[in-house]
Structure 1
Amino acid sequence: MPRAVARAYRLSPFSLALFSALAHAQASSQNASAEWTVPSGGTLAPVFVTANPLGSTDLISPATSLSGDALLRRQANSLGETLNGLPGVSTTTYGPMVGRPIIRGMDGDRIRLLQNGVAAWDASSLSYDHAVPQEPLTVERVEIVRGPAALLYGGNAIGGVVNTIDNRIPREPIKGVQGGLDASYGGANNARAGAVQIEGGNGQFAFHADAFDRHTSDVRIPGFAHSAQQRALDGPDAEQAEGSIPNSDGRWHGGAVGGSYTWADGYAGLSYNGYDANYGSVAEDDVRLRMHQDHVAFASEVRNLSGPFSQLKFNFGYTDYEHREIDNGVTGTTFRNHGYEARIEARHRPIGPLEGAIGVQVSQNTFSALGDEALVPTTRTTNVALFGLEEWKVTDAFRLSAGARYEHVQLSPTAAGNERFLGVTDRDFNAFSASLGALYKLTPAWSVAGSLAYTERAPALYELYANGPHAATGQYLIGNPDAQKEKAISTDLSLRFASGPNKGSVGVFYSRFKNYLTEYSTGRLVDDDGDVVAPGADDALKEAVYRGVRAELYGVELEGKWRVFQKGAHQVDVELVGDYTRARNMDNNQPLPRIAPLRATLAVDYGYGPFGARASLEHAWSQNRVPEDDLTTASYTKLGVLLTYRFNVGSTNWLAYVRGDNLTNQEIRYASSVVRDIAPQGGRSVMVGLRTTF
């Protein structure tokens, strides 16, 4: 859909998705390209702003951009669940509203979550029960870079980057006023969701405002909350929840205002957004989590400059985040994280055959955990980095790229009177990353791409300084204050095809880590004070320490889309997506935990005029490769259906849709979830929605 058309009918990112889906039967090959992943050889593909500051459409790095109908199909309550099932992407999931993306088996501080290219600080990388404070309804586009993206975004992007992009700072001129409303009901948790958005401008000044609210009930499930393996461990006298997951309800609400000044060669603008959440912990019936985040952003871009640089981009974000864990009405622990990140990219004019960009990134944030579960000391983390990327178009068919990044990371902890953290000291790290890549077009439709990267990651604050109980995972975590940098060599190789609506890609990846920082169970049981207790004690926690090991992760990712029928306004597309990741601790030959199994999805899309229909069948095999103290997960097959219809009433545009999820009513437990044995995914459900633009 052309950008001007998208603006004319703007409601929200998902209204754009629905319009695109409904118009699928009349879409051109350009529109089909706009919703595909990693095009090669095509000239109508979207520009990826995350993977390449040079604006290339033929990417060397494996990357996915979701917008339009592709984003609609994946709409879910959390960012992780929205992206789950993409090649190489799974989700942590801690109940229906909590999920952080996992890329190629890596999560936590190895995956960088960005909003419009900069950090919005939260606590989601510290613990699986901490939600990502982003509402999917406000997202215009999501870009996922698989593999090491540390070159552009730092060592904690060693596994990949997820960048959510919105229009809260309008980047293009807007004339007049447009807006819309969105309402939906249903799903396995009876979600009642609504959103409103309005934008306007006079061609130079533009404004944006949005608000959203989402209220959910406990999640319905097809059987017991605890798995058969877990029920056997619970014993015959334990009470078992059935039919729903206790304390899995929640409410999210918030909104944003923003504005910008636009001109022919750029824009500059400012925005504010607030986010509030109140949701239950599925592992603790009496624990609620209350979250609040304030985020202020400034962004600007200037093009067609004279002098050595032709383009400058600047992004700045400041975040104030607070998260309280409330047990029986009493606040037990308060997590706070506040700080800023600033980033400037400068694209230089061609130097002989080379095109490139250089950049500077500066960030500082202070994280604290105060109360009963003071897992880590108050710690200030400062990062200063320089990076550069160069591309050489050797021929029309052959392109090379090279880049490097140097960053200095300093962590400064403060005991703040907590005896567990007395004696903690500052740590400083100098991390270096470099990469080489190549893309060769075998024919106008076929191409091959490969890359080799060396990356370094400084340990996160919890990997260094953790020393306390973590009830969400049933552990007492102990960091390693002497931990060294994590180092990895990674490679990707993929074969790609793109010809009109028919596209496909198959790729393999391999990463080998030195000093891969992971949790290692000591086999001891301790209480909240770290004292050893006997098995079966009410307050028993598994003691775990962070340890650096040698590790390797490798696998395969494939996807394909084919137009199998087209006659008049009728058309049918078939999609196939699959992935497999294998990961092991090379020191003891044990599998790494929480790795998604072999997965495959087959989908069929049908379009005719205002009607659209999609059916998808997803199968995940059992995961039996788990550490010795872990439980396996069974296979499942999930069926989903989406029906859409578009109509007009006067000058307003309406969309109605019905979506059925897990229609086979399978008991689904993600191998990547830390609570998979006590909180499965939702059962059979139907959601209805209605949207309008004006």
Structure 2
Amino acid sequence: MKLKKITCALFFMFTFPAVAADKGTLTIPTTAVTGNPLGVGSDQMVVPISILNGRELSLKRENTLAETLNSIPGVSNSSFGPSAGRPMIRGMDSDRIKILQNGVNNLDASNLSFDHGVSIDPLIIEQIDVIRGPATLLYGGGAVGGVVNAIDHRIPKEKFEGITGRGEVRYGGANLEQSNAAVVDVGTGNFVMHFDAYNRDAKNLKIPGNALSARKSASKSWDPADLVYKSYTGDHGTNKLINSQSETKGGAIGVSMIFDRGYAGVSYAKHQTQYGSPLESAVSIDMDNDRFDFASEIRDLGTFFDRAKFRAAYTDYMHKEIEGGAINTTFKNQGVDGTFELGHQPILGIKGVMGLQFESGKFQALGAEAFVPSSKTNSQSAYVYEELPINQHKVTFGLRHGQHDVDSKGGGSFVAANKSFKTNNGAIGGLYTLNSQWSLTGNLSHNERAPSYFELYANGVHAATGTYEQGQANLKIEKSNGLDSQIRWKSGQDSLTLGGYFTKFSNYIGLRSTDNLDVDENYKISQFSGIKAEFKGVELEGKSMLTDNLQLNVRGDYVDAKDKTNGGYVPRISPLKLGAGLKYEFDRFGARLDVLHAFRQDRVASNYNYQGGRELITDAYTNVSMMATYKLPTQLNLEAFTRANNLLDEEIREHASFLKDIAPMGGRSIMFGLRGEF
């Protein structure tokens, strides 16, 4: 019934192409807006950035934000089944990866636990920017690993008259997904309104063979009942992943007034999703997120500061963990995050911005499995970012200073505490143009991250990890120094980028296993502590037009992350991956074939618990996928598409996934869809 209603709505919208053609088309910026406040394109960025937008993004949309980004070098998915997954960049996750929506922090609880989903649905996103590597200058000390910025146009920024929009419906895939989305913008010149709505219904994931890996079956896990290590006997399904279904719906409304020298607008968005936890067949999560955004920009001020920009969001997030039909634990996160930025006139050729960022959040965990206390986090930061063009070259530099207060209310087994941290971040980089085709970039950075509330104050059983998690209130600031460089080549539509990086941590905070038991002597204690660590790796991305209609694409990435204090490796590090693809387009028809090979990952951590057991080796796999598109010969701008994944029906287990040995990726599948714009 839902699919029928949305399909009718899309048909109704597509009957207005003449209106849009007569009155104009809404212009949506598609250049990089993340990582450089001066608005330069991605070719002029010093930091590595990848952009998904337009038709390419539309055809790559998946259940989660992380899965949508799986084609980007250096990005992996810390999935907890098909409905929950947070992007990992260069082996780093949690608070080291900032997830933004329109440049403002996305406040949910996905950084706290792997089974908590990200409250952004890719169906309505217009562009995704991914910065690989430290972006701490502009987005805070937490962005040591990188930034993912999901951009919509819920707050329109350009004048527009008429009606325009897009929509799509799709069915199929390994989880028999049935989803649809519609986006509409209505403008009368200076006054523009935005509407969007989406819903997604997915069944249990089809998998090749047993959900439980052979290695997990043969391994020993800690049994709290008998206080001994036993063989793992959990049943998570055969050919179907038990309790992996989901249902999502949401929408938004926004309005803007467009002026000659800027704009001001507000929006309200609602996101709801219910999904099962493959770890436990009787557990599901009910997530509800309300978000209010405000954004404004004024240009050409005619003073030393020629541009002012302000953006802020208030988020009211809640999710309930339901077990056996009853609410077991409730997580709430309410907060405000915003940035005020001033761009200045050139000084001796130097141009840049000065900014203030603020965040105030209140987190609560209520119920049987509340392993963290109610807490408050307040942060204020000031930053400056500058660029100096030198002929065809460029030098960039910046500084950031932050004050962070992380307070615990205490109660029960939790201590009441007030912790304050001061962080300082700095970077200097450059772009050197060798000739019209070749260029070099480099970036040297010092990064500091304040410990989060759960790293400081956690003290309880965490069902998702199967351990007793214990924070340390005396944790010091996480500090690192990093070097990032790339060599870039571009000639017409052909391009190649090869990059390398090295990051050295003097205090890398992570959850590490101990042999101690909790006070009830049931669970092994895992404790947040700091170690010395080194991350290094390489990334490759390129494309070449073999003929006028045929394009070759290549990609690859490798990361090595070592624990320099205890020896061994940091956990859940993605293995070496190499991929190649062919993309063909002629007239109305398009086709694509992609092959990605992930090598065996045997560099595993020795002091990290996976559901009471050690991290296990992950076998290699090859994922072959295909896609075909056809633009229908109608007056409407409609395109039919079909997408097939895992054509070899391989057992694909992503090493970065917390449930890799319990919940493999989907088996051989095919999806059909129809998308359109007007």
Q: TM-score when scaled to structure 1?
A: 0.90
Task: Work out which of the residue numbers 529, 534, 543 in structure 2 matches 1:552.
Answer: 534
Amino acid in the other structure paired with 2:196: D
Give secondary structure in 1 for the equivalent of 2:217.
helix
Moved more, 357-366 or 231-240: 231-240
Tell me if 1:608 matches 2:590.
Answer: no
Query: Do residues 195 (structure 1) and 181 (structure 2) align?
Result: yes
Encode CA deviations 1:599-629: one digit per residue, 9 max, x unaligned.
0110110000111111100100010000122
Are residue 462 (structure 1) and residue 454 (structure 2) matched? yes
- Deviation of 1:508 after TM superposition, in Å, equals 0.4
Q: Which residue of 2 aligns with 1:18?
A: none
Q: Which residue of 2 aligns with 1:81?
A: 67
Q: Equivalent residue for 1:110? A: 96
* d(CA) in 2 for partners of 1:238, 1:579: 34
Amino acid at match of 1:264: D
Which of 485, 497, 512 is residue 489 of structure 2 equivalent to?
A: 497
| Match of residue 575 from structure 1 | 553
Please tell me whether the aligned partners of residues 166 and 182 of structure 2 are also in contact (alpha carbons under 8 angstroms): yes
Offset of residue 240 of structure 1: 6.1
Q: Partners of 1:269 and 1:72 in 2: how far apart?
A: 26
Which structure 2 residues correspond to residues 626-637 of structure 1 after superposition, within 5 A?
626-628=604-606, 629-637=614-622
Checking the alignment, whether the CA contact within 8 Å between 2:182 and 2:197 is kept in structure 1 is yes
Aligned partners of 1:521 and 1:545 also within 8 Å: yes
Q: How many residues align?
A: 636
Aligned to 1:168: 154
Match of 2:521 in 1: 532
Residue of structure 1 equivalent to 2:171: 185
Match of 1:48 in 2: 32
1:258 — aligned with what?
A: 254
Structure 2 CA distance, aligned partners of 1:71 and 1:196?
Answer: 15
Q: In the TM superposition, what is the alpha-carbon distance from 1:666 to its structure 2 partner? A: 0.7
Q: CA deviation at 1:236?
A: 9.3
- What is the deviation of 1:179? 3.0
Q: Aligned partners of 2:232 and 2:177: how far apart in 1? A: 34
Q: Compared with structure 1, are the counterparts of its residues 237 and 348 closer, same or farther at alpha carbon in structure 2 (3 Å cutoff)? A: closer
Paired residue for 2:438? 446
How do 1:122-521 residues align onto structure 2 when only pairs under 5 Å count?
Answer: 122-233=108-219, 235=231, 239=235, 241-396=237-392, 398-415=393-410, 418-421=411-414, 423-521=415-513
Alpha-carbon distance in structure 1 between the residues aligned to 2:361 and 2:543: 43
Provide the residue aligned with 2:3 in structure 1.
Answer: none
Aligned partners of 1:385 and 1:407 also within 8 Å? yes
Output the CA distance in 2 between the equivalents of 1:665 and 1:675.
19
Residue pair 2:441, 2:486 contacting (<8 A) in 1 also: yes
CA distance in 2, matches of 1:323, 1:466: 19
Partner SS state of residue 72, structure 1: helix
CA offset digits 1:451-472 (Å, max 9, x no partner): 1000100000000000011111
Q: How many Å apart are 1:265 and its aligned residue?
A: 2.2
Counterpart Cα distance in 2 of 1:259 and 1:419: 46
- Separation in 2 of the partners of 1:657 and 1:524? 54
Letter in 1 for 2:439: S
- Contact conserved, 1:188 with 1:220, CA < 8 A, in 2? yes
Q: Which amino acid aligns with 2:535?
A: L
CA distance in 2, matches of 1:510, 1:202: 51
Shift of 1:670: 0.4
* Residue identity matched to 2:128: V
Whether contact under 8 Å (2:30, 2:53) holds in the other structure is no
Using the TM superposition, give the Cα deviation of residue 136 of structure 1 relative to its aligned residue in structure 2, in angstroms. Answer: 0.5
Q: Relative to 1, partners in 2 of residues 1:310 and 1:84: Cα closer, same or farther, differing over 3 Å?
A: same
Deviation at 1:73, TM superposition (A): 4.4
8 Å CA contact 2:236, 2:242 repeated in 1: no
Which secondary structure does the structure 2 equivalent of 1:284 belong to?
A: coil
1:691 aligns with 2:669: no
Q: Within 2, Cα distance between the matches of 1:197 and 1:69?
A: 15
How far apart are 1:46 and its partner, in Å?
Answer: 5.8
Q: In structure 1, the residue corresponding to 2:546 is in which secondary structure?
A: strand
Q: What is the percent sequence identity of the aligned residues?
A: 40
Q: Secondary structure at the match of 2:67?
A: helix
What is the rounded CA distance, in whole Å, between the counterparts of 1:79 and 1:666 in structure 2?
A: 23
Instruction: Give the secondary structure class of the aligned counterpart of 1:158.
Output: coil
Moved more, 436-445 or 297-306: 297-306
Stretches of 4+ aligned residues off by more than 3 angstroms: 233-240
Is the contact between residue 120 and residue 295 of structure 1 (CA under 8 Å) also seen in structure 2?
Answer: no
Worse overlay, 497-506 or 176-185: 176-185
Q: Which amino acid aligns with 1:564?
A: L
CA 1:46–1:240 in 2, change beyond 3 Å: closer, same or farther? closer
| Counterpart residue number, 2:524 | 542
Describe the shift of the 1:252–1:122 C-alpha distance in structure 2 as closer, same or farther (beyond 3 A): same
Partner SS, residue 125 of structure 1? coil
- 1:187-207 Cα offsets, whole Å, 9 max, x none, are 000000011222111111000
Matched, 1:673 2:673: no
Shift of 1:499: 1.3
Of 638, 643, 660 in structure 1, the residue corresponding to residue 628 of structure 2 is 643
Amino acid paired to 1:407: G
8 Å CA contact 1:459–1:484 kept in 2: the answer is: yes
Secondary structure at 2:57 match in 1: helix
Q: What residue ranges of structure 2 are gaps of 5+ in the alignment?
A: 1-9, 15-28, 220-229, 607-613
**Cα distance change on mapping 1:399 and 1:287 into 2, 3 Å:** same
Kindly state the Cα deviation for residue 542 of structure 1 after the two structures are TM-superposed: 3.2
Checking the alignment, whether the CA contact within 8 Å between 2:212 and 2:663 is kept in structure 1 is: yes
**Cα contact 1:424–1:481 (8 A) shared by 2:** no
Amino acid at match of 1:631: L
Deviation at residue 394 of structure 1 after TM alignment: 1.8
Q: Secondary structure at 1:152's aligned position in 2?
A: helix
Q: Which moved more, 1:252-261 or 1:234-243?
A: 234-243
- Give the Cα separation in 2 of the matches to 1:88 and 1:645: 31
Give the Cα separation in 1 of the matches to 2:295 and 2:581.
Answer: 38
C-alpha contact (below 8 Å) 2:236/2:279 kept by paired residues: no
**Separation (CA, whole Å) in 2 of partners of 1:458 and 1:236:** 37
Does the CA contact (< 8 Å) of 2:236 and 2:278 recur in 1? no
Q: Does 1:682 align with 2:671?
A: no
* CA deviation map 1:237-281 (0-9, x unaligned): 765621011000010001000010113322111000000011001
State the 1:525 CA deviation: 4.7
Q: Letter of the 2:409 partner, please give it.
A: T
Deviation at 1:284, TM superposition (A): 0.7
Q: In the alignment, is residue 621 of structure 1 matched against residue 599 of structure 2? A: yes
Shift of 1:91: 1.0
1:156 CA displacement: 1.0
Distance 1:260 1:531, change over 3 A: same
Query: d(CA) in 2 for partners of 1:180 and 1:56?
Result: 27
**TM-score normalized by the length of structure 2:** 0.92
Partners of 1:436 and 1:240 in 2: CA distance: 50
Which stretch shows the higher mean deviation, 176-185 or 601-610? 176-185
Q: CA deviation at 1:49?
A: 1.2
State the 1:693 CA deviation: 3.6
Structure 1 position 672, deviation (Å): 0.2
The whole-number CA distance in structure 2 between the counterparts of 1:282 and 1:92 is: 14
Separation (CA, whole Å) in 1 of partners of 2:250 and 2:201: 12
Against the structure 1 CA distance between its residues 352 and 608, is the aligned structure 2 distance closer, same or farther, given a 3 Å change threshold? Answer: same
Asked whether the 8 Å contact 2:131–2:148 carries over to 1, the reply is: yes
Task: Give 1:412's aligned amino acid.
Answer: D
Structure 1: gaps of 5 or more residues: 1-10, 16-44, 534-540
Residue by residue over 1:37-79, the C-alpha shift from the partner in whole angstroms, topping out at 9 and shown as x without a partner, is xxxxxxxx96321110011220000111111233234321100
